[in-house]
Copies of this chain bind each other. A is one copy, B any other.
């Protein structure tokens, strides 16, 4: 049996409908830099899906790039961005935020999430007290939905964070690299329209959610960031053949594809979590979306390595390893069943 590849959720190409349309439109000549008709249509569909007709929508290429560009655009030069200590921008972006001149100010994470009360305490100390003029001024809050731990902010939690942000006049930005896996998750109650209502900016992930590449940045309030086009260019984040991004998001937002594309991943992940648990494997922590975290003994790891490609997460002690398995819109369910069978 060939190993099932679950090391990440960006291993396959694109959803078949996207590939079909790439083929159909390949030799059309369109203007560059996102001024094409596909991009315009995609923007319109995203606005509709977010119930936010005034939103400004831009297409960028990848997650780190999007975070660096949006965060730099939303901050003043002397401000930093608040994030969970486990946030992607805190740990896994090679210092892209600092490259733009900004400090990442970390809060403790609770399985990938920050909570509103920690945030309120931090803001009170850092924005309302005196004596902080020698410190970096917080200028933005960054969270991920789902988080890097596969966990979800409920609508109530997101609202509570939003309320703290409003109280301290801090913009809120949501990294939705895996947003489709939240939207397809039964446990989720945070919809696109909620993000549009509760945040100053968020991005709808394409790369990990059915596209070859691409992330759609949404500013619910149009005109929120003057000259954002030039800022994208300055960050090397402007795609010449922008139609490639427009066409993909147009497809993802046709017939609500984006709202459903994550279901296969959730089905597969739920099957796997149940099967691992039934077979005595320990979940490192619970997560409702497409990422599964297992705490393995050396023997368990050796066995699993023969049947599934996972990724290393961390070593909690010398006897155990935590690995991550990520399912996707493209994970073959028959291979999932073969893997489960191999656990016996």
Question: Using a CB–CB distance below 8 Å, which chain A residues touch chain B?
Answer: 5, 7-8, 10-14, 16, 19, 22-23, 25-32, 61-69, 72-73, 76-78, 80, 91-96, 98-104, 131, 133-137, 207-208, 212-213, 226-227, 229-231, 233-241, 243-244, 312, 330
Interface centre among A19, A28, A234 (most CB of B within 10 A): A234
Nearest neighbor of A234 in chain B, beta-carbon distance: B94
Q: Give bound CA distance, A101 to B8, whole Å.
A: 30
A-B pairs, top 7 by smallest CB distance, nearest first, are: A65-B236, A13-B26, A94-B233, A5-B29, A11-B29, A94-B234, A95-B136
CA distance A227 to B95 in the complex (A): 13
- In angstroms, Cα B146 to Cα A262, docked, is 45
Q: At the interface, is chain A mostly helix, strand, loop or mixed? A: loop
B78 touches A133 (CB 8 A): no
A30 touches B11 (CB 8 A): yes
Complex Cα spacing A229 to B109, Å? 28
A84 nearest CB across to chain B (Å): 15
Cα-based distance from A11 to B241 in the complex (angstroms) = 7
Give the residues in chain B near A236, CB-CB below 8 Å. Answer: 62, 64-69, 93, 96, 235-237
Q: Which residues of B contact A72 (CB under 8 A)?
A: 77
- Nearest CB in chain B to that of A212: its residue: B244
- Taking a contact as CB atoms under 8 Å apart, the answer to whether A241 and B207 are in contact is yes
- Contact present for A27 and B10 (CB under 8 Å): no
Q: How far apart are A227's CB and chain B's nearest CB, in angstroms?
A: 6
Nearest B residue to A10 by beta-carbon distance? B240
Chain B residue contacts of A134, Cβ below 8 A = 92-94, 230, 233
B227 near A137 with CB under 8 A, answer yes
- Contact residues in B for A28 (Cβ distance below 8 Å): 12-13
B13 near A31 (CB under 8 angstroms)? no
